[in-house]
Structure 1
Amino acid sequence: MKANIGINKSDSAKIVEILSHYLADSYYLYLKTHNFHWNVTGMYFENLHKLFDTQYNALFDSLDEIAERIRSLGEFVPATYSQLKELTCLKETKEVPKDREMIKILLEDHETIIRNLRSWIEETNKAGDAGTSDFLTARIEEHEKTAWMLRSHFD
């Protein structure tokens, strides 16, 4: 049974597309952050290992929230690696960078997501989906806080 929640079919499809892109970006960022958690070395190993642990766990929790938002709109969630790879705008990191480069890469990815979220919030507002707009607004705050924490390593 299709959801009958006051959003027309074309707007709902656009919102699900937005959420699917956000899910893919979040999943890629989760994997990258977890990779860096496992592979960080150097003088600041312990602090970065803990920081990345906190960040990848928060990202992991967000994946379920994003997927559940898609399901609440009555659609199935893209959940295969090939689907997520097609949907993400983030780049894979194939090598293990040095610790400062890890921080820079994660910061750039969070900032990319923040910029996308700003645009997506406008689109969900135009579609009349206050629920998704509020959800994305809460998520942007989390990414901004994480970006600030990462950026602070360069001051």
Structure 2
Amino acid sequence: MAQSKMQNIAKEFPVKTGVDRKDRRELAKMLTKIIGSSHVLYAKTRGVHWNVVGPAFYSLHKMTEEQYEDLNEAIDEMAERIRAIGFQAPTGLSEMMNHSVIADQTKLLPANDMVKELVEDHDKLSRLLRDGVAEADDADDVKTADLLTERLGVHEEAAWMLRATIS
């Protein structure tokens, strides 16, 4: 009997919390874009962490470690939010890449250029999050709006810290 339970696949389930299914579905799509973008940013941040050299090595190495650890937790929280509103969370790297507003890192760049790209990526994700907050507000999904508002602040601060480091 335990073996048959392992055969279950996550499916959409009914949620009756006051947010219409159509709105929850659109929010799940938005959260999937944010998760995909966050995954790409996570990978790029790890790349900077591993490959940064030069006078700012130590500070950038530590800062990017804090940032990718935060991204890892945030990705999990957003995926769990998709499940809580009744839909399947994204799976697999190709799905993450297909939904990302952030381009993959395809070659190693000088440290300053890698950090500039991270700044741009945090700005892109901030704009996407701002759209997500507006969408959640329109749907009267205060929990999702709150979650995305918190993430927006984190990305704006990360961009500021990285900008200040390379100024």
Range into which the TM-score falls when normalised by the shorter chain: over 0.9
Per-residue CA distance 1:63-91 (angstroms, 9 max, x = gap): 11111111110111111111111111110
- Tell me if 1:119 matches 2:123: no
In structure 2, the gaps of 5 or more residues are 1-12
Q: Number of residues paired by the alignment? A: 155
Per-residue CA distance 1:79-136 (angstroms, 9 max, x = gap): 1111111111110111111111111010000000111111221111111111111111
Q: What's the C-alpha RMSD, in Å, of the aligned pairs?
A: 1.1
Which of 23, 27, 47 is 1:35 aligned to? 47
Q: Which runs of 4+ in 1 moved over 4 A?
A: none
C-alpha deviation, 1:8, in angstroms: 1.0
Aligned to 1:107: 119
- Tell me if 1:13 matches 2:17: no
Per-residue CA distance 1:19-54 (angstroms, 9 max, x = gap): 010000111100110111111122322221111111
- Tell me if 1:147 matches 2:155: no
Conservation of the 8 A alpha-carbon contact between 2:14 and 2:86: yes
Which of 90, 95, 102 is 1:78 aligned to? 90
C-alpha deviation, 1:153, in angstroms: 2.1
Higher-Rg structure is 2
Which of 45, 52, 60 is 2:72 aligned to? 60
TM-score, normalization: structure 1? 0.95
TM-score, normalization: structure 2? 0.89
Residue identity matched to 1:89: V
- Tell me if 1:134 matches 2:146: yes
Aligned to 1:48: 60
Q: Distance in 2 between matches of 1:94 and 1:42?
A: 21
SS in structure 2 of the partner of residue 3 of structure 1: coil
Which of 6, 30, 34 is 1:22 aligned to? 34
In structure 1, the gaps of 5 or more residues are none
SS in structure 1 of the partner of residue 96 of structure 2: helix
Q: Distance in 2 between matches of 1:38 and 1:64?
A: 23
* Identity of matched residues, %: 35
